């Protein structure tokens, strides 16, 4: 049975997560003290560590490199900012999951990031000749060379990024299956991303759209996206990355929020996305009229302040 070590000082959350992992068939160890957790990691040698870096008022950040040197570590934390994610990967984390999380996605990430089990080697069986003579031992297997031993069963980071870039901008809109046609736009995006074994962080690095916007698109929570054409461009970029037609979702978004990409606009940056905002300039004649009215009001107020009887004398003749 594979073993997972949970390190978190939120005891209630840790108990709930332990129950979920046990139902999934894992042996679960828990600790809310970092020093004790490191000793447990050395003694028990779990297959994976789930770490909340905010444990003991942020001391989990210091423990992350030490734990990552022992076993694969997935950071499971409320610290979900981009700089937190980048800091965790730089410290040796295998993956990063922000709270709150979806149980199915967490289990899939755990299974993908856990080290494969060592194969069980059986000794060679003695070989008996057809004449019933002496038994001869089978020939020993050829010893693998050092190059073969060091060959990884996974793609390197450079190969993975090269594969991602090769699909960007060149993916044609593929024909959907019957089940995919019945699925919503966000469900098709999530299914395709999971089929390619990509995380939101990897997709963010490729198309330059923040991962919480990508999450909102997958969940079809349009209210979490920035208003205006920027949201449409995010949807289009994410869909084209996987070769999925986004026209229906774009039309629904434009209808709901009355987005007009042809209107005059100015731009500013939200995250890594250049966002355009509609520019509404009032007519020039209205500005002139308002300026004249304002000037007259200021002048009249000043005159009344210094000579309250001025207007009475003028009106009285």
Q: What is the CATH number of the domain that holds 30?
A: 3.40.50.2300
CA–CA gap between residue 219 and residue 101 (Å, rounded): 12
DSSP annotation of 271: T
Q: What percent of the chain has pLDDT above 90? A: 25
pTM value > 0.75: no
Residue 216: give its domain's CATH number.
1.10.260.40
- Structural domain including 210 reads 158-278
Question: Are 230 and 270 contacting, i.e. CB atoms less than 8 angstroms apart?
Answer: yes
Read off the pLDDT of residues 12-62 as tens digits, 9 standing for 90 and up.
Answer: 899 999 999 999 899 999 999 999 999 999 999 999 999 999 999 899 999
CA–CA gap between residue 186 and residue 214 (Å, rounded): 9
Residue reference for tokens 């040698």: 45
pLDDT attached to residue 274? 47
Residue 189 lies in a domain: yes
Query: Alpha helix (H) ranges present in 114-184?
Result: 146-150, 157-167, 178-182
Q: Is the pLDDT of residue 180 over 60?
A: no
Residues 107 and 78 occupy one common structural domain = yes
Residue 181 lies in a domain: yes
Residues 89 and 52 occupy one common structural domain = yes
Residues 274 and 288 occupy one common structural domain = no
What integer is the mean pLDDT of 245-272? 64
Q: What percent of the chain has pLDDT above 70? A: 70
Residue 153 lies in a domain: no
Domain count across the chain: 3
Q: Is the pLDDT of residue 245 over 80?
A: yes
């Amino acid at each position: 049975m594979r073993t997972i070590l949970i390190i978190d000082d939120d005891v209630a959350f840790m108990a709930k997560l332990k129950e979920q992992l046990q139902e999934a068939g894992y042996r679960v160890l828990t600790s809310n003290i970092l020093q004790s957790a490191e000793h447990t990691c050395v003694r028990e040698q779990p297959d994976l560590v789930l770490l909340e870096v905010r444990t003991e008022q942020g001391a989990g950040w210091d423990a992350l490199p030490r734990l990552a040197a022992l076993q694969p570590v997935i950071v499971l934390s409320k610290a979900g900012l981009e700089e937190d994610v980048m800091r965790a990967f730089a410290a040796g984390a295998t993956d990063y999951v922000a709270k709150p999380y979806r149980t199915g996605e967490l289990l899939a990430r755990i299974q993908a990031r856990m080290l494969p089990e060592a194969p069980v080697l059986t000794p060679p069986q003695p070989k008996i000749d057809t004449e019933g003579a002496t038994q001869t031992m089978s020939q020993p297997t050829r010893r693998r060379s050092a190059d073969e031993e060091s060959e990884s069963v996974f793609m390197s980071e450079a190969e993975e990024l090269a594969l991602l870039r090769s699909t960007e901008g060149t993916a044609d809109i593929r024909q959907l299956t019957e089940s995919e046609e019945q699925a919503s736009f966000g469900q098709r995006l999530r299914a395709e991303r999971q089929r390619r074994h990509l995380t939101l962080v990897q997709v963010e690095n490729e198309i330059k759209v923040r991962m919480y916007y990508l999450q909102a698109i997958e969940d079809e929570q349009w209210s979490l996206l920035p208003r205006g054409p920027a949201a449409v461009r995010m949807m289009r970029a994410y869909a084209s990355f996987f070769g999925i037609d986004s026209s229906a979702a774009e039309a629904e978004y434009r209808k709901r929020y009355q987005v007009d990409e042809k209107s005059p606009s100015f731009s500013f940056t939200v995250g890594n996305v250049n966002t355009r905002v509609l520019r509404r300039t009032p007519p020039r004649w209205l500005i002139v009229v308002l300026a004249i009215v304002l000037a007259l009001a200021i002048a009249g107020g000043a005159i009344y302040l210094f000579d309250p009887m001025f207007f009475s004398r003028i009106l009285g003749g």
